[in-house]
Every structure is written in structure tokens, then in C-alpha cells.
Amino acid sequence: MKKRILAINLGSTSTKIAVYENLDEKLKKSINHSNEELSRFSNFWEQKEFRKNKIIEEMVKSEVNFSTLDVIASRGGLFKPIPGGIYQVNEDMIDDMKSEKYGIHPASIGCVIAYELGKEHNIPVITADTPVTDEFCSFARYSGMKEIPRASAFHALNQKRTARVVAERLNRKYEDLNLIVVHLGGGISVAAHEKGLVIDVNNALDGDGPFSPERAGTVPVGDLIKLCFSGRYSEKEMLKKIQGDGGLMSYLGTNSGLEVEERIRSGDQYALEVFEAMAYQVSKEIASMAAVLKGNVDAIILTGSLAYSNRLINWIKERVGFIAEIHLNPGENEMLSLAENALRFLEGEKPKKY
């Protein structure tokens, strides 16, 4: 008998849900929220009931009864660092997310909504390969300042799934390979996967690495400190410059790769240079991860929505093709990854202890 799975993934301005029978997609909806709708809430947590009701409304409209579900799978939020794998959402996890000790992200609200729906309808709730997946080697934690250890924050859900997909394509096990996986989206993460563990990756949330469509990545630290103390910006405004208004947004006023491509086709040379500079920085990060793996790289994998850009991909290939064979697996694939993990849970894979 086929198992029914509800996958939930909350972003800044969208609520995505999908219903699967095993891995057959039966329903997929992306509920977009306008600035006008969200402006009445002063923070993400205040949006919880609004977002939850939107999910329930969509389920009713699509005639999907919660009683028919075997499991709910939510994209993980921000809680304590944990190894990759499947986890059942519990009260301790919920408390950590609500405390904001580890940061705030809409995905945290998604986990709480999933947990509440699970309790209301007596359905188990899981999350897997969360953004705080931490499998760092000891060297990766050193930043150069004792007070600030490097943290693991990246697109683990898509990275881990994509690594497994390519491993299968190569007729190998993920746990037997050394891979460099690059997620190219609103944020960009470049990770060294050594025998199934992500031993190093740039902090794609608000830390280091290449600049992306909306994140600044690594910036000159001294100049950043001077800007922070210049009196021109508040702490909140500076954080927004790093996450939200950085990268392409800072240089070109847009976080849309499609819009940048259109500008380039219209002859905008500055847009061309900025876009290639992003590929240049991604390439440098890939090369650094090759050093982490001591040059023993079985494949480089490019994934995420920007992996559909032939222009961007070709620039990256030109610079790092000498390191290893490059595999393309475009798209986010997060909903399907949630479903795959949920199915493994239902088929008996034991969840890890939080």
C-alpha cells in the first residue's frame, strides 16, 4: 500500500506544500504572499497562524484529508547544529527554534506548523538534512578569531540529495565518494563531501563564501567594521546588507538571475561583469574545497535554480573543469528530498536522536 506524505517548505514570501504517494507527486502548490499581506506582521513568528491557515485552506481546496496522511515532512529550521539525517520533530527542537538562539528563518515556523498539525491529527512529523547540518572536520571550525568559530549553515537538503543522485548515476555509493557540491540559488553554498560527510562548506546564510543573488558572502573585514561604526547604518540595516541586499541586489538592484541575463542580452556590460564576477568567486570556492579534499575529487556537482543558466555554468566550467568531471543537476529539489526522507522513515529507517 502506498504511503501518503505531506511536505512543507516555508520561504520568506512563499509557503510550499506537496503531497506524495510514495514518490509520486499528487499535489504541488506554491502559495505566494504579497508584501501587503506580510507587512501587517512585525516578525516571522507572528505569521505562524496566517501561514498555517493557508496550508489548511489549500488542503481543503485540493480535497486532501489530513487523516489520509502517514507522515508530515518539513524543511528544517534553525536549531542546534546536528549531523545530517532524519529526525523526528520534538518539543526540544521546537523550543530551540522559538528561542532564536541559533537564528530565525521562515523554515523554523514551517517546522512548528508541521508539529502542530501532526499533534492535531496524530501524524508523525520529521525533518531531514537541515540547514544547520554540521559534519565539519576540526580544521573547518577555525576562523582566525577564537571568539568566532566558523559555523555550518548551507543547503543541506538539496546538496545531500543531489550528491546521492549523482553517486547513483556513477554506480557508486555516496559514502564512497569525494564530491564538491555547489548549490546556486538565492544563497550559494559550496561544500566538500568526504565519504558521505560535509566536512567543510561556506556559511551560506550570513557568513562567508561567494556573493550570491542576495547575499554578500566574504567581504573585506576591516572596511566592514568601519562601515558598522560609521553611524550611517543600524545593526539591522547592516545585517540586511549582508543577507537580503547583498550580492547581485547590491550591484544591480535585483536578485533575479533571469533579469540579469535579460540585461546582458540587451547589452548591459556592467551586468555582464557582475554576473561573471559571481561565477569567478564560485570557482575560487570550488578550488578551495578541492584543497580541503587534498585534490582527491571524484566529481563536481552544480545544482540549484541558477544551474539552469548556461552562461554562468560555462564560466564556472572554464575555471574548474581541470579539477574533476562536472555534473549538472539543476533545480532546488527540496520537496522531493523531503518526500524521499519521509519514505525512508516510513520504511523503517530509524531517526537520529536530537
Please say if the pLDDT value at position 206 is more than 90. Answer: no
Query: What confidence tens digit (pLDDT) does each residue in 106-115 have?
Result: 899 999 999 9
Q: Which residues contact 95 (CB under 8 A, 6 or more apart)?
A: none
* Cβ atoms 182, 190 nearer than 8 A: yes
**Crossing angle of the two packed helices 257-265 and 269-292, in degrees rounded to 10:** 130
How many angstroms separate the CA atoms of 200 and 92, rounded?
A: 27
**CATH assignment, 138-323:** 3.30.420.40
Please say if the pLDDT value at position 282 is more than 90. Answer: yes
Nearest one of 179, 177, 248 to 213, comparing CA atoms:
248
CATH superfamily of 4-132+335-346: ATPase, nucleotide binding domain (3.30.420.40)
Nearest one of 58, 79, 141, 73 to 110, comparing CA atoms:
73
For the entire predicted model, the pTM comes to 0.92
Q: What is the DSSP letter of 19?
A: E
Domains 4-132+335-346 and 138-323 share a fold: yes
Weakest-pLDDT range from 36-40, 49-53, 70-74 = 36-40
What is the model's pLDDT at position 332?
85
What cell was used for 114? Answer: 508541521
Cα distances (angstroms) measured from residue 283 to each of 2, 161, 303: 43, 22, 14
Write down the domain spans for the chain: 4-132+335-346, 138-323
Number of neighbouring beta carbons within 10 Å of residue 48 = 18
